[in-house]
Structure formats: C-alpha cells, structure tokens
Amino acid sequence: MTALEPREAGRFVQQLGQALDQQFGRPRAVLALSAHSLSRAPVLLAGPRHHAVYDFGGFDPKLQTLRYDAEGAPELAQQIMTLAAQAGLPMHQLTQGGLDHGIWTPLRYIYPEADVPVLPLAFSPRQSPAEQYALGELLAPLADQGVLILGSGSLTHNLGLVFGQGRPPAIDAAEIPASAQFREWMRARAAAGDWQSLQAYRSQAPHAAEMHPTDEHLLPFFIAAGAGGRSEPALRLHASLTFGSLAMDAYAFGDSAPRLAAALQGVEERTL
C-alpha cells in the first residue's frame, strides 16, 4: 500500500531518490534484491525490458493499475555471471523480465520516470544470513562501477500480528515492545559493525522469531551489507512503522553511506 499511501516510508524513499541524484548522479543500473523474488539458487532476471508484476491479492484494486516499465540490464547480468564463475558461486540467468512489488514500489519513488535500467537478482531463502552476506561481497565491485545495489524487504515482518486477530490494529498504533526491542538491537549492532551477531540474529536478537517467523524479508539486508563491506558501520537512514509492528527502517552500507546520510539531511531540511 506504500505505492498508494506513501506515509513516512514513501516520503523517505522519495527523498532518497533526490539525495542519490544529488550526491552520486544517476546510476548505470539498479541491482534489485527483493524478499519477493526467491529461488533455489541465485537467478538473474536478465530480460531486456521489465514490467510491474502484481504478486499479491486482497488489496486496493488501484494497485494493479500502477505501471513501472523499465529497461533491463543484460550486460550487467553477464558481468555478474563472470564474477560468480570466478568465485565458484552457482549463479543462473533467465532472459525474462518482471519486477515484483518489493522492487517497483520503491523504484516508483526513487526513479519515477523509470529511466534507470533494473536487474533483479532472485536469491535463495534457504541460505543463511552469512551466506547472503557472502553473496553481497561478490557484488561489492559493482558499487564502484555506477551500480546502485538496492535491498528491499522489511525490518520486521510478521503479518500474523497485523491480520491474524481478525481486525488489524490502527495503522498508527503504538509500537509493541517486541518490535521496539528488536529494532533497537538491530540498530545498535549495525552501528557497531557487529556482523557476527547480526548474522546470528535468530538466536541472539530479542524476539527474532516473533518479528520474523521466516526470515526472507530480512535477508536482503545482509546481501546489501555484504556489498557495502566491513569498512564502515551500517547507518540507519530512516525508521518508521505501521500497525504497531511492521517496520520499514532503511540502512546504508559501505564508505559512501555517510555521504548519502548527509545528502538526505539536506533534502529533508529543504522540504520542511
């Protein structure tokens, strides 16, 4: 629903697009990692064109009228296939397009003209956070070559807490304690660059299983973190939630993260 009702997260992503343009210029392409594009092994969707995929049901029908037709990035896919082969990492590609809602929803705000090529990389939810981090490390050279690596998921994601009791909580309901404790643990460990604890979050973070009954919505965090490298702590750029437990916090990774945070601050100050 962020695509129709931006609220805090949508406004942040809109400002993120402005900050990226101002600080770094338009990227060569977006490498998109979404919790809704999953496979048994990493797969690049290397079609020449993409369209919005409506991979959901039971929401406002207006969502299925929204379009996001973007160019694909087959050449970037070939480059990633080469990196994977050199590292001995199984990687596949398909010459087909399609952007799931975890990709086109933020991109509609970041690049509303759909004028940046997009390459989705489906990942395996069976692989651990440490394995996802290693996948990100494989992708790290791309960030220095004009590629924006975008992970899309949700910092907390237990829809049973939202819809499981019949009528959902108010969209602006107060945050439940379990969500607050989990989010603060993630923020503190990320700020400390404590990747060992973060990769073991299911056993170390408070209320981890309650906040993520399955962890596919958090796994893009680890891929993006691996791509950013260990040289800088992760920076939380945004924190918001709906229904008391559905968090849309956003993080940046790597040595360019402070520059992005500063650019975002400037954009926010100009829009107040």
**Cα–Cα distance for residue pair 161/233, rounded to 1 Å:** 31
Q: Count CA atoms within 13 Å of residue 262 on its CB side.
A: 7
CA 176, 177, 180, 183 dihedral sign is: negative
Q: State residue 247's pLDDT score.
A: 96
**Cα–Cα distance for residue pair 152/101, rounded to 1 Å:** 10
Cβ contacts of residue 247 below 8 Å, gap of 6+? Answer: 154, 155, 156, 179, 183, 239, 240, 241
**HEC per residue, the chain:** CCCCCCHHHHHHHHHHHHHHHHHHCCCCEEEEEECCCECCCCEEECCCEECECCCCCCCCHHHHHCCCCEECCHHHHHHHHHHHHHHCCCCEEECCCCECHHHHHHHHHHCCCCCCCEEEEEECCCCCHHHHHHHHHHHHHHHCCCEEEEEECCCCCCHHHHHCCCCCCCCCCCCCHHHHHHHHHHHHHHHCCCHHHHHCHHHHCCCHHHHCCCCCCCHHHHHHHHHHCCCCCCEEEECCEECCCEECCEEECCCCHHHHHHHHHHHHHHHC
**Cα–Cα distance for residue pair 91/54, rounded to 1 Å:** 26
Q: State residue 165's pLDDT score.
A: 77
Per-residue pLDDT of the chain (272 residues; tens, 9 = 90+): 887 678 899 999 999 999 999 999 999 999 999 999 999 999 999 999 999 888 777 776 887 888 899 999 999 999 999 999 999 999 999 999 999 999 989 999 999 999 999 999 999 999 999 999 999 999 999 998 999 999 999 999 998 988 887 788 999 999 999 999 999 999 999 999 999 999 999 999 999 999 999 999 999 999 999 999 776 789 999 999 999 999 999 999 998 899 999 999 988 877 76
**pLDDT tens column, 77-99:** 999 999 999 999 999 999 999 99
Token pair of 236 as six digits: 């939380």
Q: State residue 231's pLDDT score.
A: 66
| Phi, psi (rounded to 5 degrees) for 85 | -65, -40
Residue-range domains of the chain with CATH: 7-271 (3.40.830.10)
> Is 185 in contact with 206 (CB distance < 8 Å)?
yes
**pLDDT tens column, 145-177:** 999 999 999 999 998 988 887 788 999 999 999
pTM across the whole model? 0.93
**Cα–Cα distance for residue pair 28/7, rounded to 1 Å:** 29
> Is 240 in contact with 249 (CB distance < 8 Å)?
yes
Q: State residue 111's pLDDT score.
A: 95
**Cα–Cα distance for residue pair 90/34, rounded to 1 Å:** 19
> Is 32 in contact with 121 (CB distance < 8 Å)?
yes
